[in-house]
């Protein structure tokens, strides 16, 4: 059980960067993306009614949902400080939700910040599913940065901390052929 005093808030700076990017996208009429609050159950509260300890409910879906120029999107944000990403950071119900989203002609993906290298990665659902299936069939429980498709690595731009729209365009272009 994760508590909000522990590992549950890892990646919150990364999510703030995504939130700021989403604001710029919205202001420019490019996208409308909502951060989905993570459901928590309070355990302890102080005398003022502020939550001081809580645990995260397991059944959240993804971090963000919305639409980008008419395309429904859902995605999760993950941070990784090594060159190997453990698949335990993703849950079966997230894989299931993203698969159903894609089956409805939506776009599902994960944004990963490799903090040690200071680079971002756009992980398509198809690529994630390949790694997930490999794990469930008894293979590696992680994937290495070397296994990732180079065209989906990206860096910040002026005024855009996590410019993932470029990656969506690459993803959509690769699906058309």
Task: List, as residue ranges, the binding site for Mg(2+).
Answer: 61, 63, 76, 94
Q: Report d(CA 14, CA 12) in Å as an integer.
A: 5
Q: Report d(CA 135, CA 166) in Å as an integer.
A: 29
- Cβ contact 92:100 at 8 Å: no
Q: Which of 36, 126, 106 is nearest to 77 (CA)?
A: 36
Which residues, including other chains, have CB under 8 Å from residue 84's CB and lie 6 or more apart? 142, 143, 144, 145
- Annotated binding residues, written as ranges, equal 61, 63, 76, 94
Backbone CA torsion sign across 117, 11, 14, 145: positive
């Amino acid at each position: 059980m994760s508590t909000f005093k522990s590992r549950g808030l890892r990646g919150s700076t990364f999510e703030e960067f995504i939130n700021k990017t989403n604001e710029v996208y919205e202001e420019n009429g490019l996208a409308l993306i909502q951060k989905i609050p993570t459901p928590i159950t309070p355990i302890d509260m102080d005398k003022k009614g502020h939550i001081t300890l809580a645990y995260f409910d397991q059944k959240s879906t993804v971090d963000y949902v919305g639409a980008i120029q008419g395309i429904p999107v859902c995605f999760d944000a993950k941070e990784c400080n090594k060159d190997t990403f453990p698949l335990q950071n993703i849950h079966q119900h997230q894989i299931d939700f993203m698969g159903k989203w894609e089956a409805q002609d939506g776009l599902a993906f994960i944004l990963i910040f490799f903090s040690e290298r200071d680079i971002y990665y756009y992980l398509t659902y198809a690529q994630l599913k390949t790694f997930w299936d490999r794990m469930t069939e008894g293979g590696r429980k992680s994937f290495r940065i070397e296994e990732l498709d180079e065209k989906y690595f990206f860096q910040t731009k002026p005024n855009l901390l996590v410019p993932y729209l470029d990656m969506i365009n690459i993803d959509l272009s690769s699906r058309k052929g």
